[in-house]
Structure 1
């Protein structure tokens, strides 16, 4: 049984990304079980470069340049879901350092006759020394409540990079939610999995990933708006029990911004989000 991997590239040439380099370093035996799709959201189309399209011992290697107006992870995941013939699909950001032990365990797991309600696998993801995924989902302070390896049927969320999901489940739920073109698509997906009475297995393997949202003050205003408007939308429509806490969090951030602290003048963007979405 083969595994489809959807590697989403952005500003860097995909051959120069951390994720592609780590995939190249896998053993040939592993690569022969992988159908790798590069979905490129960048500004330059590399599809005409024959060197970059060498299969590199993968079962197959395919390059898709995104010519659509929509950019982000949703269109990438959906596009690859639509063409993949494999039973399982892995999502992969271009700044994730995937490991051989994790891939080995994944390929072993998906070949087993597991419980029918298990539809996803996730690793322990770290940004330096901090576990950023998976975490509890019943709080806004998710990063303070990392989850351990095991089988979960509730109270779990995380990032989508290195998440392996059953293709039939994604089709069953109607594909990837267009309400989240980039940010909070991962949180919606975990919510949807558990809302469908399915389970997620957290595998005891560590993966390194650089989480850009951890450096929120270094993002531009458009990205800042995307992150927080998506966050507000998610909690308003999918986890309304936490919406009041989110509102209080934004009010505190706005007050600090007015006082020249933390987000500074970007408090106006948060205020705009609150006023737009009442």
Structure 2
């Protein structure tokens, strides 16, 4: 399995990244697997950081600094183009705060040959003792429903980007990642496209830990929330439109809850503004 890995950094020193720390403890120590792997470090931070690829023996590592901070989609498309030109089979997407494990590595490298309609391979992801990924995508409240189990998923699911292996030939088919989702809901769009194009997803047995600050309004700025809800509306209006009417109703309920429980009331008023614009 020939893999291009991309780790997207933002306001995070490389050596402080949980993803990079755990990469060094897992993948970097199993040198027999490194011959089929290359790593791209894509840094969206304002300031670049020193990096010497010769410090990491046995694996090709490239560091790219992009102070424009155009979101993860630019980083992913950069890595996709790199993987395509180097004839890699899979692109592994990673944020800077996912804890990788030997079990995850071993399950990936020991996978049997997969049929071509498997467009993505994903682990289970926990955040603060809650399994947040993957989830079924036929509901607006997937965390209230049963979760997918390991194996090939015939019923459409959605998984977060970090930890997901995406087949490069599938990305070639759809023309890469959709730039209208610079950061938020890119994962929703990607997995929607997988099933819309007649493909499937395989869920691994492995569970990883990942920090997801958007689950807590106290850690989300107004600008960040605007990005989330704008992308959310784009997704349900233009892609998952079978849920669009239900989504509008849910926004009303969200607004009422935010008025009562969220300290930054500007978040609630932005929800109301967007709901009335639908």
Normalised to the residue count of structure 2, the TM-score between the two structures is: 0.91
Deviation at 1:29, TM superposition (A): 2.7
> How has the CA–CA distance of structure 1 residues 114 and 247 changed in structure 2, closer, same or farther, with 3 Å as cutoff?
same
Residues of 2 paired with 1:34 and 1:115: CA distance? 21
> How has the CA–CA distance of structure 1 residues 36 and 23 changed in structure 2, closer, same or farther, with 3 Å as cutoff?
same
The equivalent residue for 1:37 is 40
Residues of 2 paired with 1:225 and 1:214: CA distance? 15
Write out per-residue CA displacement over residues 194-217 of structure 1, whole angstroms, 9 at most, x where no aligned residue. Answer: 111111110100111111111123
> How has the CA–CA distance of structure 1 residues 150 and 263 changed in structure 2, closer, same or farther, with 3 Å as cutoff?
farther
The equivalent residue for 1:78 is 77
Residues of 1 paired with 2:106 and 2:258: CA distance? 47
Q: How does 1:1-278 map to 2 (within 5 A)?
A: 1-26=1-26, 27=29, 28-46=31-49, 49-51=50-52, 53-68=53-68, 70-84=69-83, 85=86, 86-109=88-111, 112-145=112-145, 146-258=147-259, 260-262=260-262, 264-265=264-265, 266-276=267-277, 278=278
Residues of 1 paired with 2:5 and 2:55: CA distance? 14
> How has the CA–CA distance of structure 1 residues 264 and 45 changed in structure 2, closer, same or farther, with 3 Å as cutoff?
closer
Residues of 1 paired with 2:51 and 2:204: CA distance? 36
Residues of 1 paired with 2:173 and 2:136: CA distance? 25
Residues of 1 paired with 2:55 and 2:143: CA distance? 38
Gaps of 5+ in 1: none
Residues of 2 paired with 1:128 and 1:32: CA distance? 35
> How has the CA–CA distance of structure 1 residues 31 and 144 changed in structure 2, closer, same or farther, with 3 Å as cutoff?
farther
Partner SS, residue 54 of structure 1? helix
Residues of 2 paired with 1:57 and 1:191: CA distance? 38
Residues of 2 paired with 1:230 and 1:246: CA distance? 13
Partner SS, residue 197 of structure 1? coil
> How has the CA–CA distance of structure 1 residues 22 and 151 changed in structure 2, closer, same or farther, with 3 Å as cutoff?
same
Q: Is the 8 A contact 2:7 2:93 kept in 1?
A: yes
Write out per-residue CA displacement over residues 223-267 of structure 1, whole angstroms, 9 at most, x where no aligned residue. Answer: 010111111111111111211222112112223444x43365121
> How has the CA–CA distance of structure 1 residues 262 and 82 changed in structure 2, closer, same or farther, with 3 Å as cutoff?
same
